[in-house]
Amino acid sequence: MSTDKWNLSFKVQRKSGMAAAEWNGDNRTIEQLIEDYQPGYSMEQQFYRDPEIYQREIENIFLKHWILAGHVSQIPNAGDFFLFEMDRESVIVIRTRDGEVRAHLNVCRHRGSHICLEKQGNAKLLTCPYHAWSFDLDGNLVSARLMAEDFDKSQNGLHAAKVELVGGLIFISLSDNPPSLATMRKDLGDVFDTFGFDHMKLAASKTFPIAANWKLAVENYQECYHCTPSHQEYAKIHALALAPEKFAELKEDYLAASDGSVRQEESSCYFDRAKPGDEGYQYGRNPLLKGMKSGALGGEAVAPLLGKLKRHDGAASEFMVGPLSFFLIYNDHMVGYRFVPNSHETCSCDVFWFVRDDAVEGRDYDLEKLTWLWDITTQSDEEIIVNNQKGVDSHFYRPGRLSKMEYFEQSFLNWYLAALKG
């Protein structure tokens, strides 16, 4: 599948040089808006409202980069599948007969109908509900009724999306030529090993629909300036909510006490620092407040230790891949956050909770205790992001000055504007 084909269709809809936001009495082009961005400030309103900018984001970001689709534990058996849906795209993520994980575009090669209508399930064949063309689990067309003699089934398999597994995490890209994950794999191999990325399972997930542009959701995730005022529960556990000077003191104490069993060294090809051709990624480890073990009520442990860990050392690791997928790794569980754009004015945040794969619900972990912190925190995030969009929509919104606790947000904005420029 080529993203160039999509590009063509978008170009038809767009008059070249057309103003990005004529509705606002502002006739600057997208290029001018990018050029006019003032570092150290939030972005102008058009970036959060304009459908034309969103179309360019689809081409330059969503159809190019890697995004978390799900986890191998969701599809243990041949024929198990689930749908990953983003914007106008629907992808069937499926386990084949030889145990591979594949991703097929949910677009019939006959006249384009969605093939899988269920969000998840098990199928022996993928049969289109419209005229019954059938595809095998590898996406090959195996039967098509009453077609002409010269019809070549071998040329009519389902379009494939690229798939890469990072441990059991399934990442997909809709590009023919996505950025490479090789640098990240080489750099973070020891981290994946320590936390047992190959030996986790998905314990729970929850979708939070957000009536706001996707960037407000991602930006919110990039900064903890809002944590103390907006997330009391989080701020009682995580040192990141502290002012930078206090946080630095605590981190120094934590590093002095560390036995080196978990990687402390930061690895940052974060957004604007990724090398050309590489996907952006980041790893870092931050202390929790003193006495806290995990991201749960009272900082208590809520599941068996992950991977090779032997103890709770009062810290949690952050890990991100690409612009939309983020992870917070406590010593006993991992929480994944995926931001999915659905339109220029709506997105969702999908939250995933992972535990080690031999942990048993009810015996080793309790779902309510496991999910409490990030359920309550994401509910508050949803509310503050939606309120943020309402204000950004006002005629009186102007870009505002960022604080020193919003340095990662600045990194995201730099990366975003460069990606939009293309």
Applying CB under 5 A, which residues contact Fe ion?
381
Q: Please report how close the Cβ of residue 79 comes to ligand FES at its closest, in angstroms.
A: 19
Which segment (103-111, 244-252, 353-361, 403-411) binds ligand FES by CB under 6 A? 103-111
Q: Does 110 bind ligand FES (CB under 6 A)?
A: yes
Question: Of residues 124, 131, 185, 311, which one binds ligand FES by CB under 6 A?
Answer: 131
Residue 381: contacted member of Fe ion, ligand FES, none (CB under 5 to 8 Å, by partner type): Fe ion
Name the residue nearer to ligand FES (CB basis): 128 or 274.
128
Query: Which has the closest alpha carbon to 403: 239, 218, 243?
Result: 243
* Site size toward ligand FES, by CB under 6 A: 10
Question: Of residues 11, 14, 111, 308, which one binds ligand FES by CB under 6 A?
Answer: 111
Residue 110: contacted member of Fe ion, ligand FES, none (CB under 5 to 8 Å, by partner type): ligand FES
Please name the residues in contact with 393: beta carbons below 8 A apart, sequence gap of 6 or more: 45, 48, 49
List C-alpha distances in Å: 351 to 203, 274, 283.
Answer: 11, 25, 19
Alpha-helical regions (H) of 30-144: 30-36, 46-49, 51-57
Find the helix or strand (DSSP H, E) in which 287 lies. Answer: strand 281-287
Which segment (48-56, 60-68, 128-136, 378-386) binds ligand FES by CB under 6 A? 128-136
Question: Of residues 61, 128, 227, 385, which one binds ligand FES by CB under 6 A?
Answer: 128
DSSP letter assigned to residue 78: T
List C-alpha distances in Å: 123 to 12, 115, 120, 158, 361.
Answer: 38, 11, 10, 15, 27
231: helix, coil or strand? coil
List C-alpha distances in Å: 42 to 172, 219, 384, 414.
Answer: 30, 10, 16, 11
Residue 28: contacted member of Fe ion, ligand FES, none (CB under 5 to 8 Å, by partner type): none
Q: Does 34 bind ligand FES (CB under 6 A)?
A: no
Q: Are 135 and 104 in contact (CB under 8 A)?
A: yes
Q: Please report how close the Cβ of residue 342 comes to ligand FES at its closest, in angstroms.
A: 24
Name the residue nearer to ligand FES (CB basis): 105 or 370.
105
